Structure 1
């Protein structure tokens, strides 16, 4: 075989992702709130796009009644892949969705009360002078709560001065969110060039600040500070706090010998400790759970179930064709005409992609509802095993499309708020060779219920849980029970026995 450069012609097939296909895939993955941010960016870039203002949106310039084009729940619609495969992305036919032609019952619970007042709408009622659902949230104007460091610094400025205040500021800056001091006192003294006893004295002052127990260097010291504040710090309590590891193990007889108390006094001391705060600084934590906005609503009706897209979080956009006609009639060069045509094609495609996204989400949610109807009616104990492939095969879509649709999407139903991914769980084989399967979430629900109802005098072991679950028709191994139990944060039978024994002593 000769070595040297040469030219060859080869024929091959490859999949090329067009910008429109990439955009459609991206829209499927985004949640409603992310869609709103994405559309806001498109409105800034494309002059032919405009946001519809509720039911007052102007009719389409081409005279077509869009009310007949609205999607229906029972309609068999294709996926985004089918739309792209048909070559409809560059078509010039508009698909401007009329904002007043929603198929959905409402935009959410807030919309059902939007027209209760005589004035209607969500703003201020012209007759009664009251605000509706869209009234300003005055709670949002409230000043944020002070952090733990700010709270401690205010007390330090009032109690200390000069060099002591500088030491206090240095120490307070090294207190974590739980209220514990992470600083080394000797290193702090060297860094500030002050004697160690001055640092210890200032720390003693900080120990008297609110909240009680702040600035402690260990759990024992934190609880000791609170015991001193409550005037319950005696030699017996000091010995108990010095042996918290034995208390955690439930070694009560050994603790009674160390502390020199009887069972009644030990129970009183344990009850006292349970009333203390092991992390006093967390009450000043500013972390708050971010609210989750549902993308879908499911609720029962007389005829079955109703599925609604949360239109309150979805922007409604239209293609301004009158503006396009006005621009195209002017004198333009070749570059301007190409740019205007590109804007029109992009606007048409975005409207179609958003409409197709809603249809795809409803189609996937409808199949999830059909497969998991027992869950919506009877609860998590009746959740069935479900895979993405099963839903994809049932609705005639690709598995990756279903995966994108269920990502970052939340569903609100009478049983609560759930991520769409929650309904896709692995299965546990049914006992007795019946050929059925039970969802892993349903098994966890049964394990949690059995442990919650167990007798404190007869704690259920993992082997006993296996027998009880098999009696319910769930063929599950002991190690699987232990894995599910640990994933729910439930301790072993030994740990639960100790905890309930301590609660019984404290009671």
Structure 2
């Protein structure tokens, strides 16, 4: 083998992730609220950017500057005609829609406060001594997400430098706060704290809570024998226990959870036609600051002109990326409306199987673009507010005419209906449920039935049975 040096030419293609492309991808993935924050940050960083009020008087002032500076465009990196007069974008560009007060409020869904915030607020309006308040705050700060206390009284007393009696009084005080059940050290104590929520609860219910393990295992006969009560009475007590919350802390949001959801797209049906609105009313309209235009007439090569051109290019990319995001969201929503028209009119039972690839092929973009455009975004429909990913329903089993047109959501709804109509003295087993679904052209396995039943929060047949 001979080794040597040589010179050759080779042509290759590479995708270079420029800062501008990276910014466009970032903007595409942002939700409406995140985009508002991002734009505010860019307004602080780029002096050429300014907000514009959308009105008949100001709208005309936003466009002409592009034409007046047309003689300088050839020397800029950005083609303004491409950014602001693209025919494809103009064909779907939407005017800012003024919603009435009711419509403005509907899209906002407020989440619950955190458990810590909820309990601290109650502590600070109660009449307690400073020492007890200090211990109570320590206890509240050491509750887990479910609302349970993971420390012993001895540890609390030692860490807060108080007596065991003071620590116990502080715990009793915390356990009296809303929601009842917080501060418990185990499941039995949690449920016992909630007994006052049951009006006129039977006396044997307190003793019944000692047999939670037997109840979970379905050993109702053993409980009946131990308490010397009939089997149907055991079931009545079990039904009462199920009205209590075993994890009272989970009804509150976590520290990092989003508190409000704002739909990025609104779909309304007006006179039988679906209208799509990209909801960007929280995002400021951007324009170019006129005060910096004089700098472009200076001699080429000056530091001032270079600075202005650099910031102008950055501003143009930002404005274009925001417009491109709006266009992509509109196209995706428009395609979803065509695919899921039956759902929009009749509800979740009529949701059709749909994939990212289906939408990508229809609007002529890559599958990853659809994924980014719909990630963590919500759409308001006549049937409620849903995440975009809800519409990308998986196909499973067989539908009518043996085609794969049955979605997971429709199977779950059918499963819920079947169980709701069963005879409680002889509830359907998972295999029987699978057989009944098959008669509805929904062919899935017994294990899949059990999985969907668990996801719906429906107990097994042995627990549903009534004597």
TM-score if structure 2 supplies the norm length? 0.77
Task: Give the aligned partner of residue 199 of structure 1.
Answer: 164
Partner-residue secondary structure (3-state), 2:423: coil
1:444 is displaced (CA, Å) by 1.9
1:327 is displaced (CA, Å) by 2.1
- Inter-partner Cα distance in structure 1 for 2:144 and 2:119: 9
1:279 is displaced (CA, Å) by 5.7
Aligned ranges for residues 202-221 of structure 1 at < 5 Å? Answer: 203=168, 206-207=171-172, 210-211=176-177, 215-221=183-189
* 1:464 lines up with 2:432 in the alignment: yes
Give deviations 1:360-383, integer Å, cap 9, x for gaps.
211111111101111111111111
1:299 is displaced (CA, Å) by 0.9
**Is the Cα contact below 8 Å between 1:207 and 1:216 reproduced in 2?**
no
Match of 1:93 among 81, 90, 106: 81
- Inter-partner Cα distance in structure 2 for 1:256 and 1:374: 51
1:443 is displaced (CA, Å) by 1.6
Deviating more after overlay: 395-404 vs 54-63: 54-63
Aligned ranges for residues 297-336 of structure 1 at < 5 Å? Answer: 297-302=266-271, 304-320=273-289, 322-330=290-298, 334-336=302-304
**Is the Cα contact below 8 Å between 1:147 and 1:286 reproduced in 2?**
no
* 1:385 lines up with 2:376 in the alignment: no
Distance change in 2, residues 1:427/1:323 (3 Å): same
- Inter-partner Cα distance in structure 1 for 2:199 and 2:342: 57
- Inter-partner Cα distance in structure 2 for 1:229 and 1:344: 64
1:487 is displaced (CA, Å) by 2.7
* 1:443 lines up with 2:411 in the alignment: yes
- Inter-partner Cα distance in structure 2 for 1:113 and 1:175: 39
Give the length in aligned residue pairs.
440
Task: Give the aligned partner of residue 401 of structure 1.
Answer: 369
Task: Give the aligned partner of residue 15 of structure 1.
Answer: 15
- Inter-partner Cα distance in structure 1 for 2:62 and 2:240: 76
Distance change in 2, residues 1:325/1:452 (3 Å): same
- Inter-partner Cα distance in structure 2 for 1:109 and 1:57: 20
* 1:60 lines up with 2:61 in the alignment: yes
1:437 is displaced (CA, Å) by 1.9
1:157 is displaced (CA, Å) by 4.3
1:238 is displaced (CA, Å) by 5.8
TM-score if structure 1 supplies the norm length? 0.71
Deviating more after overlay: 374-383 vs 198-207: 198-207
- Inter-partner Cα distance in structure 1 for 2:66 and 2:158: 81
Structure 1 gaps, min length 5: 67-87, 115-132, 134-138
1:107 is displaced (CA, Å) by 3.5
**Is the Cα contact below 8 Å between 1:91 and 1:345 reproduced in 2?**
no
The two structures, once aligned, show a CA RMSD in angstroms of 4.3
Deviating more after overlay: 462-471 vs 381-390: 462-471
Partner-residue secondary structure (3-state), 1:298: strand
Structure 2 gaps, min length 5: 68-75, 86-90
Distance change in 2, residues 1:296/1:189 (3 Å): closer
**Is the Cα contact below 8 Å between 1:152 and 1:172 reproduced in 2?**
no
